[in-house]
Structure 1
């Protein structure tokens, strides 16, 4: 190949790479705008009176009255408490049960182990909404309807967490097990002192997914709860869409920001740790 042809080929390759990078940048900006525009509208509407929120008046005064109205219109303190207890309860149960199950699948071979793990993977293919009726019947038989336990119990075992942790545990050399046993460590001590520390990025990544999902979960808590004492934030928001005088968008946006605010704030404060956890965990 002549020097001119080689130079031309390199130029075309460089142009292709540049065009691809430019298209990726444009697509990223478009996706960012699609995400930020509804949030910007919600912020503008929440901090302005109802008669101003429907038009773009940059000179309009900002106010916190919508947040006061939303806080007084519903027992938000109780909703926040219920949501935090629920999220913490589900996450704690998922981490404990998934760790034990993943360790058993990764390090023990027993009759039917492959079939059992295949059944765990099948759960990932089943939409949770399909199990609403069966879960409600089970919670009713257990007397857990309209309780925080009834909301969280169907989610205590996570197939996603079992899969992630099993893959991580299988990548840990067995020599570490043998070295720990020589030192007199029991099986649970090996799990706690060897496997769990090495899987911290996976635990962090899964915790972010779990907290985000159950903080925003709406349909199952709506079905299983009947009273204020057990409702989470997402179900409590529906009180603002059922006012007889019409939908008050300013109040709804204020209530929505109070609901999603903790997650947004946590992401802004810990976004570097979030990204690093997902990268180290190998989650695409």
Structure 2
């Protein structure tokens, strides 16, 4: 190891510990009796009582179903919309192509929260407040997804598409048989971004929904943390947080290599 790499490595380790300590404390507290939560290394045996209590005290099963439905349906629609847009920007040549791409790219910089007011007014006029469709509708398009796939599509040799056309494929078949399979890693990376964002999205579902039938996990967690069942019970709050965070952490560790490689390669194409 070079001497000039030691400070960078040390700083990385320190930052990793700063990030990990709260996570480790949260996981440990979720599986520890309430009387031991203030101890860094509690001697109590691990218990699932906190998880069971939280799961029964709050309709987390309903919140899970709502969140999974929203996440899957949103990504399903995004898969189609970003593929079509990315193909048009990467392959087709038309007047104003660069301007359209710049406008789409600029949307990455604009936070979604800026559009909450006009989006809510539109949903209210359409009668879609307090519905799952209302939560999903503003996110059926994704500037990040279009950018990521466009960069990936531009690296695919035109000869592959031309060969498919010679074999009798139409435009739709070229996209589904050539471009989509070649961009599998990009789709996985975008899927992780989309799933994590909508899984953790809090403000928009909080504003749009009123009933438990349409609430997401994050909104349910916030309401539970303020409820009488969780007052001063950090073990229960941490257990609820663990229930929400665990699937995303597992998903990221499974696909982390493809996720990182896709973004690195997209940045240099």
Asked whether the two chains share a fold, i.e. TM above 0.5, the reply is yes
Deviation at residue 274 of structure 1 after TM alignment: 3.9
Residues matched between the structures, number: 268
Instruction: Name 1:65's counterpart in structure 2.
Output: 49
Choose from 108, 118, 133 the match for 1:149.
Answer: 133
- The residue that corresponds to 1:251 in the other structure is 236
Bigger CA drift: 124-133 or 272-281? 272-281
Shift, 1:263, TM fit? 1.2
Structure 1 position 95 matched with structure 2 position 79: yes
Instruction: Return 262-271 or 33-42, whichever deviates more.
Output: 262-271
Closer, same or farther: CA 241–58 of 1 in aligned 2, 3 Å? closer
The alignment's TM-score, normalised by the length of structure 1, stands at: 0.88
CA contact (8 A) 2:130 2:214 kept: yes
* Structure 1 outlier segments of 4+, above 6 Å: none
Q: Are 2:63 and 1:109 aligned?
A: no
- The separation in 1 between residues aligned to 2:198 and 2:45, in whole angstroms, is 36
Larger Rg: 1
Residue 154 (structure 2) aligns with: 170
Give the whole-Å Cα distance in 2 for the aligned partners of 1:18 and 1:179.
Answer: 49
CA distance change for structure 1 residues 276 and 168 in 2, over 3 Å: closer, same or farther?
closer
1:240–1:248: 8 Å Cα contact kept in structure 2? no
* Contact 1:145-1:224 at 8 Å conserved across structures: yes
2:252 aligned to which of 267, 270, 281:
267
Q: Which residue of 2 aligns with 1:18?
A: 2
| Superposition map of 1:122-133 within 5 A | 122-133=106-117
Kept in 1, the 8 Å contact 2:90–2:150? The answer is yes
CA contact (8 A) 1:164 1:202 kept: yes
Q: Find the aligned partners of 1:54 and 1:85 in 2 and give their Cα distance.
A: 37
| Mapped contact 2:151–2:266 kept (Cα < 8 A) | no
Give the Cα separation in 2 of the matches to 1:31 and 1:257.
22
Q: In the alignment, is the contact (CA less than 8 A) between 2:33 and 2:47 conserved in 1?
A: yes
Superposed, which structure 2 residues align to 1:74-89 within 5 Å?
A: 74-89=58-73
**Which residue number corresponds to residue 169 of structure 2?**
185
1:74–1:239 Cα contact (<8 Å) kept: no
Return closer, same or farther for 1:120/1:279 CA change in 2, 3 Å cut-off.
Answer: closer
- Aligned residues of 1:121 and 1:163 also touching (Cα < 8 A): yes
* CA distance in 1 between partners of 2:256 and 2:87 (Å): 29
| Cα displacement string for residues 66-96 of structure 1 (whole angstroms, at most 9, x for unaligned residues) | 1111111110101111111111111111111
Over residues 231-273 of structure 1, what are the superposed CA-to-partner deviations in whole Å (9 max), with x where a residue is unaligned?
A: 1111100122222473321110000000001111223344444
**Cα RMSD after superposing both structures:** 2.0
Consecutive unaligned residues of structure 2, counting only runs of 5 or more, are none
Shift of 1:61: 2.8
**Candidates 104, 111, 119, aligned match of 1:120:** 104
- Do 1:205 and 1:281's aligned partners in 2 also have CA atoms closer than 8 Å? no
